Amino acid sequence: MKPPTSGGGVTCELPYNGSMLTNLLALLAVSGPILWLLRPHRWRHAGWLAAVAPAAVTAWLLGQLGPVSQGITLNEHYSWSQALGLALDLRLDGLGLFFGLIIAGMGTAIAVYAGYYFEKASTLGRFYALLFLFMASMLGLVWADNLLALFVFWEGTSITSYLLISFKLTDSNALEGARRALVVTGIGALAMLGGFVLLGQMAGTYSISGLLALPPNTFTGHALFVPMLGLVLLGAFTKSAQFPFHFWLPGAMAAPTPASAYLHSATMVKAGVYLLARLHPALAESPLWFWALFSVGGITMLLGAVIALRHYDLKAILAYATVSQLGVLVMLLAFDVKLATVAAVVGILAHALYKGPLFMVAGIVDHATGTRDIRKLAGLARSLPLVGAAAILAAISMAGLIPTFGFLAKELLLENFFALIESGQTQLGWAGLAATVIAGALFVAYSLIILWEAFLRRKPALKAAKIEHAPSALFVLPVLALTLVGAAIPFFLTAIENTLFAVPVAAITAAPAELHLALWHGWTPIFLTSLLAIALGALIFTQRERVRKLFASGIQVSGARAFDGLVDGLYALAGWSTRTLQGSSFPTQISIPLLAAAGVVIYAVSLNLVADLRIDWNAVPTFYEVVLPTLAIVATLAIARAQSRLSAIISLGLVGVVVLLIYVFFSAPDLALTQFLVEVLTLVLLVLVFYRIPHHAYPKQPKHRSMKYLLISLAVGVWGFGMALVAAGEPLFPLISDFFSLNATAAHGGNIVNVILVDFRGFDTLGEITVMVVAALGGYALLRASRMRPIKAEEDFEEPYDA
């Protein structure tokens, strides 16, 4: 299966030897830290400078619409380990271009907006650094043509989003929301990695374009298909806040508004949707795929819309509205038909162009009045006319009123279910249509609530919040720009439908796509159904207080509370195990793993799992083979009988010297030198440590406890002796020492041990170094933790987003 074209033309790969995609990622990754160093908070209009890099990416991507719509794709390949299938493969096709335009275009507007939102705050530079790193990770994710590279960029978005959500280091709500988001999406990412490994094994390649070129039955008929699909869907559902993992998204709204507007309307939460769209050609023929996406997406769509009505905080309402809309997109991707794919593509862009501006409006309102509680807001359309205009344009699009972009997306959604009914799938069609009408009515209701209560009514329900800091026109300009783009698109469908929309549709359906979109089709059953949803939404709006009370009086099930309860339970279990296993003396603690190791040897011997031990009873030991073990035994007895710590340390050192001499006599000078250095360092450290510990810290042990320790020591001695015999016996597997000897010179090394460490086992050494670096960073963070103790943020708006 070759990459599809958008209009039925011939598909081709562009003879492209450049590195433009990599350069654009590098541009964004470097621009953020440079802005941080330039200290942009000192400049009033620093946002315009920050917008240069994402604007350049957007302009270049717009220039690729023509070539990509003709079926031309750009590919870049950077091999790392061909044997392991590790490579950085980037590919710009219709779907990557579509998402790239959303990411870079929204990023341009957010960069300008953030400059005025933070004003003179010294943290603006740090925000830009994190924002641009996230933007680069997100673009890498949608351009990656290798499953493992996609996972790396996926994790890049998780880490940078965590840092953006927890940007306010003194806000405990932000820290908790960031932790919750990282844990949930991180668990999903690990599951997804497992699914990717299975998928790569099934396809014989980790190349995304390569596996999509295979017949779909390559996967659906495979024995590993079900676990693979389950793991991949778990990653997508957690990232895109699908039920039952939806609870992390509202808590993440504690992030600064520019981050919320960018991450949670157009980019991060769309990563799971992108993954489902990217793998759609290979997996969508499976009934398991369909029912998983249809049921989870449908539940999320209804649940998010219902919960949105319960809240009074602008960002909380928009957060749950986002959850609901993400459910719509996931539900549409369940279908393996062109019409549903068109509805999903239009819905993705429409959602970005109305939800992003609404989040930005919420930030401006909070910036101007100090609150986002709609009970304290009224008449903002008159006092803040530009903000009101942007809010009205975006909100009526979210409600799906004609002639907005949101109306077009809703019409396509309804048309999909009418097509199911006409094709004979009446039960599925009517069920989907009913759920869509209910969700659409709720969309209308909370859109009208936002407009009326915050912008149009004259008096608020509570004490009115005053406008303390009116926004400038330049502050509102990026919001207006996005809303005007969304408002204009429905009137230019003929000009853009077979470029902007057809290319991602063709990539998702793996077939040529020629679209004929229209804003008005007459008084059709679809339009009448849309009017029904609007009427029901208006009715809910008029009875909104009764509806809120009804929802409040029902059973309150909080995903965040359940998650926190699970985490608290894990902490309690860890505390119990720590008190039980580690609450006793150090000898008791160390006895547990030592006895477990001895038990393994005893188990192996009892079941005759040990091969020939090769014990030569006729061999006569040499002089040093008798003297050295005797010295070691005497030194060991001296340790046990020592009356002072210094005597025990000296005796322990003598045991180390005996081991050193054994290495010398058996012609291992490098090991002898290593043993000498370790022995000296250990003795020095022990002396320094015991010098600081009070003598009474180690009271004299009673006889029965000493006997217990003696038995444990004998068991461990038997274990060590048994392991030595097993190591000297018949090898269970072919030896690899000859391989190292023969290939050490090929690695340009004269010392086999060094070659093993830095070449043959280079990744192990890298992992050990990484562990030490991470441990050092953790220790550094603990040392600094006392300086940054989070305090409870004092907010005058509704706190809990955790339903």
What's the pLDDT at 568?
85
C-alpha span between 322 and 304 (Å, rounded): 8
The full set of domains in the chain, from first to last, is 284-542 (no CATH), 587-732 (1.20.120), 737-803 (no CATH)
What's the pLDDT at 606?
65
What's the pLDDT at 494?
87
C-alpha span between 777 and 797 (Å, rounded): 36
What's the pLDDT at 350?
93
**Terminal CA-to-CA distance of the chain, rounded, Å?**
45
- Residue 631: CB atoms within 10 A of its CB come to 16
Q: Which burial class, exposed, middle or buried, applies to 431 when counting CB atoms under 10 A from its CB (0-12, 13-18, 19+)?
A: middle
Residue type, 158: S
| Tens-place pLDDT, residues 636-677 | 888 877 777 778 888 888 888 888 888 888 878 878 888 888
C-alpha span between 760 and 782 (Å, rounded): 35
* Adjacent-strand bridge partners of 73: 13
Phi-psi region of 204 (alpha: psi -120 to 50; beta: other; left: phi over 0): left
* Adjacent-strand bridge partners of 86: 81
C-alpha span between 794 and 803 (Å, rounded): 21
| Tens-place pLDDT, residues 485-498 | 999 999 998 888 88
What's the pLDDT at 799?
39
Q: Which burial class, exposed, middle or buried, applies to 12 when counting CB atoms under 10 A from its CB (0-12, 13-18, 19+)?
A: middle
**Residue 313, Cα to own-chain centre: how many angstroms?**
26
- The pair of three-digit structure tokens given for residue 273, joined into one six-digit string: 């949707």
Look at the block and give the residue holding tokens 């290798």.
146
Cβ partners under 8 Å of residue 635, min gap 6? 651, 652, 654, 655, 658
Choose among 449, 439, 316: nearest CA to 378.
449
- Residue 695: CB atoms within 10 A of its CB come to 9
C-alpha span between 344 and 350 (Å, rounded): 10
In the predicted model, residues of the chain with pLDDT beneath 70 are 1-18, 83-85, 554-557, 582-585, 605-616, 692-705, 729-732, 746-747, 749-750, 783, 785-803
What's the pLDDT at 700?
64
Q: If residue 73 lies in a helix (H) or strand (E), which one and from where to where?
A: strand 72-81
- The single-letter DSSP state of residue 71 is T
What's the pLDDT at 70?
85
Torsion of CA 385, 389, 395, 398, to 10 degrees: -160
What's the pLDDT at 785?
65
What's the pLDDT at 642?
76
What's the pLDDT at 737?
74
Are the CB atoms for 470 and 368 separated by under 8 Å?
Answer: yes
What's the pLDDT at 732?
66
